[in-house]
Amino acid sequence: MFRTFVMAAAIAALPVLSPLALLGQQGPPPAAPSTNGPHKPMTMPKPVNLKLLPKDISSEDLMKVMFGFSKQLGVKCTFCHVEDAATKHPNFASDQKPEKNTARTMMLMTQEINAKYLAQIHDPDAAPDQKTVSCGTCHRGHSMPETFKASEKPGTGHPGPDHPGTDHPPMPPKP
């Protein structure tokens, strides 16, 4: 029940990158375009080491998801994926960087929030994308979410002269 978050700008960047390099695999250098007839479209290798995303996801769909994450966090592929020293391309199959496992944890968190909590909210006026959270909900283009600071303007209902401090008591523990 994983929801993909695709940005149009990310999709437009797909043809610029080598499909083999995108999946962290080496292969022969790309052949020069043939001038004697139609050329066969380049196929991308099957994704490997998928632990949360569907094992049968197409390479193209996987790249759309990954570029969506990249845009929502304002990072490049090497933020989560180790760069292969020999090829200077990300090794997408490697789990060497801890950020990759953090991303998996965050994916599980957003899936749970959407399925367990937001699915219970019945707001007929909200569009479907307003009833879900994604990486961008909190990150808003930053690798780390920025801390929310409440406005102190009068009349906003936020802390001001009549409501000193911004600390709230912690939520009670689950029964």
pLDDT of residue 159: 55
- Phi, psi (5° rounding) for residue 94? -70, 145
pLDDT of residue 149: 87
Domains of the chain, residue spans: 8-25+44-139
pLDDT of residue 46: 83
Query: Consecutive sets of 10 residues in the chain, 175 residues long: mean pLDDT of each?
Result: 33 35 41 57 77 94 96 97 93 95 97 93 85 93 92 65 53 67
pLDDT of residue 169: 59
Beta-bridge partner residues of 90: 83
Look up the pTM and report it.
0.62
Cβ burial of 51 (10 Å; 0-12, 13-18, 19+) is exposed
Q: What angle do CA 161, 166, 169 make, to 5 degrees?
A: 125
